[in-house]
Structure 1
Amino acid sequence: MAAPGKLSALTAGRAKAAGMYGDGGGLWLQVSGAGAKSWIFRFTLNGRSREMGLGSFSTFTLAEARERALACRKLCAEGIDPIEARQVQRGEARLEAAKAMTFAECALAYIESHKAGWRNAKHASQWQATLDTYANPAFGDLPVQAVDTGLVMRAIEPIWATKSETASRVRGRIEAILDWATTRSYRRGENPARWKGHLQNLLPKRSKVRRVQHHAALPYAEISRFMTDLRSRDAIAARALEFAILTATRTAEIIGARWSEIDLATAMWTIPKERMKGGREHRVPLSAAAMDLLNALAGPSGGPFVFPGTRRGKPLSNMAMLELLKRMDRPDLTVHGFRSTFRDWAAETTTFASEVVEMALAHIVSDKVEAAYRRGDLLQKRRELMDAWSKFCG
């Protein structure tokens, strides 16, 4: 490299034509076609030629640019790539600055950056609620870099056996936030919340821990008597709950049901993927009892929703069926629990294959089963299943 000193502050300031103006020692003044000026350091290390930006001409004087170029030449003399060295330095600076970035702050940033892509608007509040309940009390105020395996275990181990599904969700959400923080250079190292090859060595599989009944369910032997009481009640919430039981569907799917989704001619209810928890379109074969219920309603003339609420053009409240259960002196039950009633009945009293029952509940099954379902044979089996369930319900 030529010794520096070919440029002067005056000539550098007067340079207008686009091009590269050498000062020596690997330092160049670059003038773009738009007239912008910047300092460039050119070097060759291990047979590889590279260019490194040293800053804007308006920010750094010629003397300062020479000092920067000198520092780079010294690194090259030691066999150190100055570009890689700067990247490491910046990473350390970001990491140092991130000591003030707590896990709770990272969680907020993660939720904010991802919520636009979540199918359900409730996901953001659900994420925040679980983190506030389980993760943040354990390490929310700590720097995200400080979160280690012990802290993650402190958050999820107490509920792993008693609330296994919730604990698994919390672990996954912590893992996602820590991965985000690593990508943003707020932390380094392996993710202490990862399951495979790590927490799986410290915690039992969810399938091995005691299952907890999250939704109070009615024993299937009592469903006929319950349905008799339910059908004696003249309320739209009663019809909605009856339809939910007959179709083994979820509350959100029931209250959002539209007449446009139902084909009365083929006795089929097609729920669009946008309204399904699994994000897949779900076809529900309707039994004779379910069809009788629909035919007794006002139909499309009563508005777009099958089960309209008190406000015109609005669906039934998501609390209406729960309030109905309270009026029936059954506050011990939940709407979702009737899906468990259906599942228990199918498993213990019928010979229907498990995948048929799982598909009826809109649970995700294998691609092979999904392909069979699309061909129609599982749909026919599910129709037989729902007819049998309807008859059992009385």
Structure 2
Amino acid sequence: MKLTDMLLRNLKPKVHRYIIWADHGLGVRVSPKGKKSFVYMYRVEGKARFMTLGDYPKMTLAEAHKAHAEARKKVEQGIDPGAEAVAERAEERQAPTVAVLVAEYLEKWAKPRKRSWREDERILKKDVLPEWGRRKAREITRRDVIRLLDGIVDRGAGIMANRTLATIRKMFNFAVSRDIVPVSPCQAVRAPAPEQRRDRVLTADEIRALWHGLEGAKRMAEGTKLALKLQLVTAQRKAEIVSAAWQEIDFTDKWWTIPPEKAKNKMAHRVPLSPLALELLQAAKKISGDSPWLFPSPQTDRHITPEAVDHALRRAGLEALGFIFVPHDLRRTAASHMTGMGISRLVVSKILNHVERGVTAVY
């Protein structure tokens, strides 16, 4: 019997399911509830086999003929297409979801390698898991990535879209390396929002306004205010400031020793403490109490995170100061003002814990 769309549409259910057959083992099965499915009956090693190709009309007649032809070709090669399809479906059921991939990426890659892994976690929880969490990681396409990023841009968060792309690109590269997905869907996807290299340096008047603005910021914890001031006064990195422990501080000789595991360049670093820095540290000591950390977290037994400082700064409403800055601008500002005061660039570089290269490295 020749199968046509008109014939398939007119097939009516009966008390018992039945099959109408076409050529070469292709048929259409009709259930008592009216469900219609394309089926294929064949023989492998002398034994009759039966497989379902797909449901009509979700699978079109043309698609059914194509699937039937491919299955017949496998039978001619001695392959059981039904058993192969069952194995593929079982493998697909076991394939990791994006939620599983996110958890594995954070535990196996981000946490051991990135001090800012919590920011990766925040980004993935905010936009990626709600959209893709239940989907198979291997199903995510480049178009899915672009749609996700477009949605973030549309809500006015272009820079966050860039950060999200950077995070999921790392995650899918990790997935490729562990054979979770065959190829990254982020390949050839460009950052959706333009960014300019930051070279923001606060002026003396802005520093003064910031200092007083922090003191009057009612929506910011005192510890966070001190952390920002200490970053400006010491010119150290935000992550090194917030993770500082009291055992690193020498009040007698006025040094702060950053251990290599905390330093970005993995080299131990001694920071000279000025009278103002010591004053800020004494204020932090009164707040931290018995904690081993200069800036303990109110939620955990650890220190506050770099991201917590960013969030606190956004909540504080310091836009009223009339200028915008991010914490890293404070480090750059300190370095710029030191050189402006006549301090040699080599000394400033040492204070910043930059690795000297070439001839200057020997001095």
TM-score after normalising by structure 2? 0.50
